Each structure stands twice: as C-alpha cells, then as structure tokens.
Amino acid sequence: MEFKVLPGGDITGEARVPGDKSISHRSIMLGALARGTTRVSGFLEGEDALATVAAFRAMGVRIEGPEDGEVTIHGVGLDGLSAPAQPLDLGNSGTSIRLLSGLLAGQSFSSELTGDESLRGRPMGRVIDPLTLMGAEIKGAAGGRPPLHITGGRALKGIHYDLPMASAQVKSCVLLAGLYASGTTSVTEPAPTRDHTERMLRGFGYEVKTGGGVISLEGGGALQATSIDVPADISSAAFFLVAASIAPGSDLLLTHVGINPTRIGVINILRLMGADISLRNQREVGGEPVADIRVRHASLRGIEIPADQVPLAIDEFPALFIAAACAEGRTVLRGAEELRVKESDRIASMAEGLATLGIRNEVLEDGIIIEGGTLGGGVIRTFHDHRIAMSFAVAALRAEGEIHILDCDHVATSFPGFDALARGLGLQISAMTD
C-alpha cells in the first residue's frame, strides 16, 4: 500500500484514535498468566497486538475476540502455558518479542520467537544479556537477532540490573522474567520510561516496589484476573497533535487519550515549541490517567529538546521531527540512541525523508539537528516503518507539493484505519494498493 497526500488543508473536528498499543500487549500477556477471566475493552486491533494474541493462543490460552475492542482472556496461571507446536511469529512487533523473551525464559518448555524481515533485523542483545545473567539460555542469529531460541527448564534467579539505556521494553522483559525467578529481581533506570508494566502488574494484584529509579518484585507470586479499559494511544494521537499544530485554521479535540506521566513527552515538547495544547476532563481509568486533548494551530519555534523529555517521547519523535521542520529556527535532539533500533533507524529514515522534501538536517550519532524551512513535495521511503509513513503524511499539510509515500502496509501494525480517520479530519490523503 502507498499513500498519496495533496498539499494543504487543516485539521478540525473530534476523534478518538485507536487504543494504546503498549497497554493492549500487556493486557493479553498478564491476562493469560492470571488466574480467572480478564475482560479488556478499547483493545487495539492492530497487527502488532494481534500477534501477541496469536502467540498466547498458540500456547494454549483461550482468548475470545477481539471484537469492537472487546477481548475476553481465560487465564491459565503463571505455570499454565503449553509448548507451542511451531515457532511463534510475532510479525513486526518489537514489544511482543522483547517482553515474551522474558516470560518464556522461565518456562518448562523450549520455544522459538521470530517475525517478519524488519523484526529479524532488529538487535535483541539488550534482552538476551540480562536474561542470560538470570540463568536463561537464549540463542539468536548473527548479532543477537531473531529468530531467538529459548531453552526451557532453566531455573532463573533474581538479579539487580542497571539498564545501560532507558528502555521500557528491556525493563519489562527483566521484570516479567522475575515473575519466574527465585528471590528479588530489580532494575535501575537511568531515566524514567513508560511504567505500564508496573501499573498493570499491580492491577493484577502483584506487588511491585518503586523508588529512587529502582523497580523491584519478588518471584513466585500469582496474578489475579481483572478488567482493563485501554485508553487511546498517545503515540497515535501524536500525529494529529502535530498536524493540528502546524496547519493554519486547525482546531481538534482528541478524546479519552492516555496521559501517563511517563508518556507525555510529546505534549511537553510541543508546548515548549509554542503549541496550543490543553487537557480537559482529566480522570483515571483502570489505574491510567486519561484526558481529552484540544489542540489548535500555533506558530512553532525550534528548541533544544530537554534530555529528561527524550525517554518520555521516544516513539513520537518521527512526528515531532515534522513539527521541527515546520518551526522557525533550529531544533536539536541528543541522547536518543534508542531511535536507531526501532522498526527502522528512525534518525536515518526521517533525515532522508526530510532532505527529500527540502529540509536541511544534520544527523548525529544520538540524534539530529533540523532547520525549520519550507517543505516541498517528493517520494518518501518508509523502510517498513509505520511511524515514518504517518509522519510524512502529516507533513503534506504544510508542503508545497504532493507527497507520495511508499510501502505503507505496516501502518496497520499500530493504527488501522489511519488514512480514513485522517481524511475525515481534513488531510487530503488517498491510499492505493498494487
């Protein structure tokens, strides 16, 4: 699938973007390992989250749905999973493979985790290393890449692990392995990352201690079934926060968006750039803070992005790079090495696309410098990355020519129906298939 987006337009109206991908993944994983029946509403029916559903079905868990965002999970308990008959294919989902590595490291059976071409190119050493320290036996292909072969029947022991870089996926992998480990498993974060795993474990009745940048739990407990209402995903909302900010005449209300304090870097950064964003009807749903977000067009200015905001916006930077391209002056991002190992090297991928549209930029080892300017039209490569595709679709609102975006199939991994929703709000986008 390819997108063609005509230049200009504004973003107006009201919308609810799909459910939070991180929470959707975790609801299936913990629901499957709980005792009893867990009911989920607002579940993201994107390909990544569906890959997690398929993996647990392959391990003997009965899961009804999803249907209109409703999922019912009949949990089997921490020790109730069955050996899958074949390798677990996780598609494009880095969250699935990294978190499942932790869960499967403590099982009595062996397993193999694989995925599509993009996922098989992503390094997994950052989860293999701490799991090996815990006593797991995991072997990958060259460079620690998938497929990952996990040997069953290995006794895990709790460790303390200092994360070399801020990563919610690595933190979650270690903590989930800790459910099966003897003693205490703890992780120190160099900077706060999304805390959905900790919140959801507590929601399932499992004690997790936090303080001073250290998160810890004891192995050998049990999870009790619960109900989960998944808020709209702020990572998906980010494209429209940027869209309404850069397009003159825009006035948009996004409803029921998760505003977890470990995820609101995109709002904080856009506000520092001068965006007109306000939070309404703030409330808590299932242990997660939620709000309606109003955003109106504003003149943006380039900034040096504060280091403490980088881990709070790591998935939203492709969209933020478009905001930087439309801002007056220079935007500087440093300390974002994590972007190099996402679905694509997002620093290099975005830099190429921005240059194609006439935006000057300088790639740094751990970030990028973007000079605000005038966007032209052109043909964009996405490198199989859903967020690259959606970011450049939004860029057309301020472009002087048509933007043709190649290889957009992966948009469905996180945002099924993106083009239809965007079109309804004012983006002049059309999707074409071969």
- Averaged pLDDT for residues 126-135: 97
Q: Where are the domains of the chain?
A: 2-19+231-432, 21-229
**CATH 3.65.10.10 corresponds to the domain 21-229:** yes
Query: Among residues 357, 383, 382, which one has the least CA distance to residue 370?
Result: 357
Query: Among residues 203, 389, 239, which one has the least CA distance to residue 316?
Result: 239
Q: Do domains 2-19+231-432 and 21-229 have the same CATH topology?
A: yes
Which of helix, strand or coil describes residue 412?
helix
Please give the pLDDT value at position 419: 96
pTM here? Answer: 0.88
Is residue 385 part of the annotated active site? The answer reads: no
pLDDT band for 209, please (50, 70, 90 cuts). Answer: very high
Report the chain's mean pLDDT, rounded to a whole number: 96
Q: Count of alpha carbons within 13 Å of 273, Cβ hemisphere only? A: 35
Please give the pLDDT value at position 34: 98
- Give the CATH fold of the 2-19+231-432 domain: UDP-n-acetylglucosamine1-carboxyvinyl-transferase; Chain (3.65.10)
Query: Among residues 211, 155, 208, which one has the least CA distance to residue 184?
Result: 208
| 398 has pLDDT over 90 | yes
What are residue 26's phi and psi, to 5 degrees?
Answer: -70, -30
Among residues 10, 48, 315, 419, which one is catalytic?
Answer: 315
What are residue 125's phi and psi, to 5 degrees?
Answer: -60, -30
Please give the pLDDT value at position 342: 84
